[in-house]
Structure 1
Amino acid sequence: MKNFAFFTPVMQSIHSLWRFAQTVLGIIFRHPITGTSVIPILPDGRIVLIRRTDNGRWALPGGMVDWGEDVPSTVRRELMEETGLEVTNIRRLVGVYSSPERDPRIHSICIVVEADVQGEMTIPDALEVMEIQAFAPNSLPKADMSHDHTQQLQDYLNGLTTLA
């Protein structure tokens, strides 16, 4: 069992290094990076948000699509990595957001989906997420959210499917 305790931090470090390398490659080759955001809906209808460690803002869970991975797999992986929750059903496409200004780090294209989720909220990666909280749709944070997640949530709440 002691070997596994050493193995987990090593794998997390390798995963973080791979994410950094993906960002650098996107900058070098000057092509947008594809990512996802998930609007996770708990069985009681509340929406799960994370507070990011890099900017302290509330955000939707999500992240970059890995090489050889499809979007539904990315949605499931990123939600589990950031919240500990499991996707039970991807309900619908909320939108595709591609403005070069939407992510301050890189030009990324974000595919946003609504998903039913279950499980216990945990913070598997404290380097990326400082807090997780579930909000009723009418009590979502009013403050400026990370990236363009305020717009993504507003489009979702308005029942829109957006190409922006």
Structure 2
Amino acid sequence: MLRLAKTVLGIILRHPLTGTTIVPVLPDGRIVLVRRRDTGRWSLPGGLVDWGEDITTTVTRELKEETGLDLLNIRRLVGVYSSLARDPRMHSISVLVAAEVQGEFKIQDQAEITDVSGFSPETIPFGELSHDHDQQLQDYFQGLTTIA
């Protein structure tokens, strides 16, 4: 059934979907991750760009929906990730940004997210992250700007 749905979606859209992924950095340097309901795995927050939105608006909205945090500043573009294998649900292109954030954790989108937490770099559960977020975080920590 999933394969059929993917095929139908591909025929209708005929283009990959564009989204954002965020490396939210708290004032104390911790990185914020969210636990996805669909996989049970930790991941970076993010989501699809809605019609009429720019990347900054999407980052602000998704950050608020998934973590409750406010965007202070986008620090830098970390990369653009477009591999067909990056998201098992669909072909998507993700624009990854690192951002300074603040506020209190409060999940608004409980249909997608079950938990939110701040991790020091040494406590991030590398090897167990959802999608291609291991690679995205490694690129961030290495200071790379990646097109993949």
Tell me if both proteins adopt one fold, taking TM over 0.5 as the criterion: yes
Q: Match of 1:79, SS? A: helix
CA contact (8 A) 1:26 1:33 kept: no
Q: What residue in structure 2 maps to residue 15 of structure 1?
A: none
SS in 2 for 1:101: helix
Which of 43, 46, 49 is the equivalent residue of 1:59?
43
CA shift, 1:144, in A, is 2.1
2:120 to 120, 136, 148: 136
Q: Which amino acid is the alignment partner of residue 133 of structure 1?
A: S
Please identify which structure carries the higher helix content: 1
Q: Name whichever of 62-71 and 24-33 sits farther off.
A: 24-33
- Cα shift readout 1:42-90 (whole Å, capped 9, x = no counterpart): 0000000000000101000000000010001100000000000000000
Deviations 1:78-131 (A, max 9, x none): 000000000000000000000011111110000000000000011112111011
Provide the residue aligned with 1:39 in structure 2.
23
Structure 1 letter corresponding to 2:118 = A
2:72 counterpart of 1:80:
no
Distance apart, 1:142 and its partner CA: 2.6
Which blocks of at least 5 consecutive residues in structure 1 are unaligned?
1-23
Tell me if structure 2 keeps the 8 A contact 1:37–1:112: yes
Q: Larger radius of gyration, structure 1 or 2?
A: 1
| RMSD, aligned α-carbons | 1.2
Identity of aligned residues (%): 65
Name segments (4+ residues, structure 1) moved above 4 Å. Answer: 24-27
Task: Report deviation, 1:139.
Answer: 1.4
Gaps in structure 2 of 5+ consecutive residues: 1-7
**In the alignment, which residue of structure 2 is the partner of 1:49?**
33
Cα drift, residue 25 of structure 1: 5.6
For this pair of structures, how many residues does the alignment match?
Answer: 141
Q: Distance in 2 between matches of 1:163 and 1:75?
A: 19
Q: CA deviation at 1:137?
A: 1.2
User: Equivalent residue of 1:125, what SS?
Assistant: coil
